[in-house]
């Protein structure tokens, strides 16, 4: 099949996409419409470009009502296979678009590969379709904050800058539709799942950021090395004129450095960087310094640095990653320094949703790993006593460190556990520490019952002058919620209905 200018070309199974595509007559199977909007955005994107779209999802129509509604008029041009997947569909369609929740080992994907079908996901399509400069962010923790803070810094120069991706309300292909100029930078957050298909693209991020790597998603990956290799796809294919930003303190950074790459590498650290390493670091308590080729210069003064430090230790790292990525994208240090006072707070990330004279309620629903809960507890432990609500769905993670942290900070009467597979693992570790003594573990089936208990039983709340009610699940949410954002929204709604 001959290539068509500014269209699509198939050559020995390779898939090349450009900005204005024409999929006239091509059969596209959307595997997993989902409930979060990404599948709907992808389906509409292909319909708009002339494809014959089939949507297949194991959920029945009643559970997909909102997602189908988001398709709008485009739904009339689609075929739906709901409540099941059919092997025949994976043989008959040209392109299979894979939802992030689909396991790599799916037998249906195996059928597609055997029949030499083209497998892509939204991130792969985005990279092939968009001509704009791309700054991409991944990591276990801090992705969303770093992504949005990079956008904040870039907007000091260009108000048309847009950000979106993995945890945004803006799906990647909706974001692609919003770009009006090829010069406008776009900042995207990418999960390890989205990165699995990225090596098939013919381009890579102009600036790639890996915030950190900690145990996570081990229900999907066999081990940490496999998880790290998925994250490393963010810089696979980068060229010499592109940049990679790494966390010099993270134990997995040396592993990333062993992998083949062409891009320039920069680092961020709370400790001075050793000679030979370019990047940003903290020095003198509250000043940030940058080392370029040889010279080291103070780029953020102690006065501005203290504003960053007040946001918490983990956010210091997020700030450095974001500032460095923005600087490598052309923003001056002076512009970055001026923007620090207005750094936006991220929803569901240690977000204060209620503040009274004696009580602060914090929604940390985006904490989906035990390490994230530990970070939240450590941020506030010197100022307050806690009521902690935690628990959720397991991702094959270790809860022993969190159990030790809980025992050192949280009184048993001030711990409330939301039932789930991860909660059971935490309970087991707490029992090993004899945390509960002879008390019955405080296990609840829903957030509403937890908040009612806290509200109605004064003895459940520490009598300290200042108290924090921290909702930090430390686990996924799929047993009781759509995702961590649905969980966070419902927590906020419930708190507004109670009178603490």
Task: List residues bridging with 186 in a β-sheet.
Answer: 134, 162
- Which residue is listed with tokens 């309300």? 169
Residues 411, 468: one domain?
yes
Task: Note whether 370 and 451 are same-domain residues.
Answer: yes
The whole-number pLDDT of residue 13 equals 38
> 369: number of CA atoms within 13 Å, CB side?
17
In this structure, is residue 186 part of a structural domain?
A: yes
Residue 182 and residue 141 share a domain: yes
CATH code of the domain covering residue 167: 3.40.1190.10
Please indicate, yes or no, if residue 66 is contained in any of the structural domains. yes
How far apart (Å, rounded) are the C-alpha atoms in residues 161 and 187? 8
**Last residue of one domain, picked from the residues 342, 366, 391:** 342
User: Is the same domain home to 416 and 306?
Assistant: no
Residue 467 lies in a domain: yes
Same structural domain, 166 and 242: yes
395 and 453 co-located in one domain = yes
Residues 161 and 179 in one domain: yes
pTM over 0.75: yes
Q: Tell whether 4 is covered by a domain.
A: no
The last residue of a domain, from among 318, 342, 366: 342
Q: Is 2 a domain residue?
A: no
CA-CA distance, 332 to 312, in Å (whole number)?
24
Q: Are residues 193 and 317 in the same domain?
A: yes
For residues 293 and 365, membership in a common domain is answered with: no
How many other C-beta atoms can be found within 10 angstroms of the C-beta atom of residue 292? 11
Q: d(Cα 340, Cα 323) in Å, to the nearest integer?
A: 10
For 232-281, the pLDDT digits (tens) are 999 999 999 999 999 999 999 999 999 988 999 999 999 999 989 999 99
Is there a domain that residue 46 lies in? yes
Per-residue pLDDT of the chain (500 residues; tens, 9 = 90+): 333 333 333 332 334 433 345 678 899 999 999 877 788 989 999 999 999 999 999 999 998 998 999 999 999 999 999 999 999 999 999 999 999 888 888 999 999 999 999 999 999 999 998 999 999 999 999 999 999 999 999 999 888 898 988 765 788 888 888 887 888 899 999 999 999 999 988 899 999 999 999 999 888 999 999 999 999 999 999 999 999 999 999 999 999 999 988 999 999 999 999 989 999 999 988 999 999 987 899 999 999 999 999 888 889 999 999 999 999 999 999 999 999 999 998 889 889 999 887 788 999 999 999 999 998 998 877 656 789 999 999 999 999 999 999 999 998 989 999 999 999 999 999 999 999 998 889 899 999 999 999 887 654 455 555 788 999 999 998 888 888 888 999 999 999 888 76
Q: Please tell me the predicted confidence (pLDDT) of residue 17.
A: 38
The torsion angles phi and psi of 82, rounded to 5 degrees, stand at -115, 150
- Please give the Cα distance from 490 to 462 (Å, whole number): 25
3-class DSSP state for residue 219? coil
52-57: strand order across its sheet: 78-82, 52-57, 27-31, 95-98, 118-120
Three-state DSSP at 99 gives coil
Assess whether 136 and 261 both reside in one domain. Answer: yes
pLDDT tens digits along 433-465: 999 998 889 899 999 999 999 887 654 455 555
For residue 428, which phi and psi values (nearest 5 degrees)? -60, -45
Distance in angstroms (rounded) separating the CA atoms of residues 107 and 104: 9
Residue 1 lies in a domain: no
Q: End of a domain among 313, 342, 371? A: 342
What would the 3-class secondary structure string for 226-261 be? HHHHHHHCCCCCCCCCCEEEEECCCCCHHHHHHCCC
Rounded CA separation 320/268 (Å): 6
CATH number at residue 422: 3.90.190.20
Count CB atoms within 10 A of the CB of residue 184.
17
Instruction: List the CATH number of the domain containing 48.
Output: 3.40.50.720
Residue 33 maps to a domain: yes
Structural domain boundaries, residue 20: 9-120
* Neighbour count for residue 304 (Cβ, 10 Å): 18
Residues 113 and 133 in one domain: no
Q: Could you tell me if 221 and 92 lie in one domain?
A: no
Overall domain count for the chain: 3
């Amino acid at each position: 099949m001959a290539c068509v200018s500014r269209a699509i070309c198939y050559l020995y199974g390779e898939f090349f996409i450009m900005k204005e595509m024409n999929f006239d007559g091509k059969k596209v199977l959307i595997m997993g419409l989902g409930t979060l909007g990404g599948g709907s955005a992808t389906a509409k994107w292909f319909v708009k470009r002339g494809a014959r779209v089939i949507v297949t999802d194991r959920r029945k129509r009643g559970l997909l009502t909102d997602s189908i509604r988001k398709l709008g008029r485009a739904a009339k041009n689609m075929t739906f296979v709901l409540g099941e997947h059919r092997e025949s569909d994976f043989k008959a369609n040209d392109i299979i678009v894979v939802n992030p929740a689909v396991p790599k080992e799916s037998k249906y994907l195996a059928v597609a590969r055997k029949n030499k079908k083209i497998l892509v996901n939204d991130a792969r399509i985005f990279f092939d379709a968009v001509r704009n400069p791309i700054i991409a962010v991944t990591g276990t923790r801090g992705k969303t904050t770093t992504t949005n803070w990079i956008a904040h810094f870039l907007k000091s120069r260009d108000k048309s800058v847009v950000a979106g991706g993995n945890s945004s309300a803006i799906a990647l292909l909706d974001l692609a539709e919003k770009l009006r100029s090829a010069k406008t930078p776009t900042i995207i957050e990418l999960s390890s799942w989205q990165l699995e298909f990225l090596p098939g693209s013919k381009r890579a991020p102009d600036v790639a950021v890996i915030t950190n790597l900690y145990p996570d998603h081990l229900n999907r990956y066999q081990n940490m090395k496999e998880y790290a290799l998925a994250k490393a796809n963010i810089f696979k294919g980068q060229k010499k004129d592109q940049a990679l930003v790494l966390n010099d303190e993270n134990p997995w950074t040396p592993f990333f450095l062993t992998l083949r790459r062409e891009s320039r590498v920069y680092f961020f650290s709370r400790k001075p960087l050793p000679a030979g390493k370019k990047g940003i670091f903290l020095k003198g308590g509250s000043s940030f310094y940058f080392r370029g080729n040889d010279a080291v210069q103070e780029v953020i003064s102690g006065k501005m640095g203290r504003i960053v430090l007040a946001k918490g230790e983990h956010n210091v790292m997020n700030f450095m990653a974001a500032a460095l990525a923005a600087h490598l994208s052309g923003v001056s240090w002076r512009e970055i320094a001026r923007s620090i006072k207005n750094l936006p707070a991220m929803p569901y990330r240690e977000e204060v949703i209620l503040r009274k004279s004696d009580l602060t309620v914090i929604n940390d629903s985006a904490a989906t790993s035990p390490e994230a809960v530990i970070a939240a507890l450590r941020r506030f432990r010197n100022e307050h006593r806690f009521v902690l609500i935690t628990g959720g769905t397991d991702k094959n993670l270790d809860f022993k460190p969190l159990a030790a942290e809980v025992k050192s900070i949280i009184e048993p009467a001030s711990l409330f556990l939301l039932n789930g597979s991860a909660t059971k693992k935490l309970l087991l570790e707490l029992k090993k520490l004899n945390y509960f003594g002879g008390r019955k573990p405080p296990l609840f089936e829903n957030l509403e019952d937890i908040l009612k208990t806290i509200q109605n039983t004064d003895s459940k709340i520490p009598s300290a002058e200042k108290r924090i009610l921290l909702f930090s699940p430390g686990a996924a949410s799929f047993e009781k919620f759509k995702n961590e954002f649905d969980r966070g929204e419902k927590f906020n709604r419930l708190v507004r209905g109670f009178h603490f």
